[in-house]
Amino acid sequence: MRFSEHRRQYTLGGLRRSDLAPEPVAQFIRWQEQAIAAELADPTACSLATRQADGTLRQRMVLMKGVDERGLVFYTNYESNKAAALGACEQASMLFPWNELDRQVSVTGSVTRVSDEESDAYFASRPRDSQLGAWASAQSQLIESRDALMLQLTDAAVRFGDGQIPRPPHWGGYRLVPAVWEFWQGGENRLHDRFRYHFTADGSWQISRLQP
């Protein structure tokens, strides 16, 4: 197959200025709820792009676990590669690829850690096996085999037994504080609809239409 010949039309509807909420968070939540209602496999999944300490760029998928006027929250190991990148450069970008709806949302801004209380509350809500996994995996570090990883999981399970599992000190949340949002709706003949929300110096959001 020639990949250059693979194409399709985007026909699921346009996007007009009058369709948009005045604030980007409200617009995002509207689209996020529609993605969930459409039963997408991972509607809260997004690609997180960061700049590494050596200046190279990196992307990986994370799950967005909260959004409000303060920003978008995700959780990870504070000793992982992504955490090291955020320690070197707090600027990052998220891309939500809702391809089944011919939609994308990109968000760019600065990233800060959430409070310990917020991380504790979310960790307590996780399934027990996920809690154990956070203790078992030294994320991004080398390991010789899958069996070795499963042994670390067994060790964590034995360590905590049937008791409560506390949040590891090396695990918690980050919040991306947006400066720019972009909402993209696919259109026929590649004439897509793109709108950008830009946070201005006076504390308001300016909405602009972009050419596709």
Please state, in angstroms and rounded to a whole number, the distance separating the CA atoms of residues 135 and 212: 45
Please state, in angstroms and rounded to a whole number, the distance separating the CA atoms of residues 202 and 198: 11
Please state, in angstroms and rounded to a whole number, the distance separating the CA atoms of residues 66 and 64: 6
- The dihedral of CA 85, 119, 67, 77: what is its sign? positive
Contact indicator for 108, 61 with CB cutoff of 8 Å? no
CA torsion, ordered 97, 186, 9, 32, to nearest 10 deg: 40
**Catalytic residue list contains 190:** yes
Please state, in angstroms and rounded to a whole number, the distance separating the CA atoms of residues 20 and 157: 48
List 17, 128, 159, 190, catalytic entry? 190
Please state, in angstroms and rounded to a whole number, the distance separating the CA atoms of residues 180 and 119: 25
Task: Give the closest residue to 84 by CA, choosing from 111, 106, 107, 108.
Answer: 111
**Would you call 128 helix, strand, or coil by DSSP?**
helix
Contact indicator for 17, 208 with CB cutoff of 8 Å? no
Contact indicator for 94, 176 with CB cutoff of 8 Å? yes
Which residues are known catalytic residues? 190
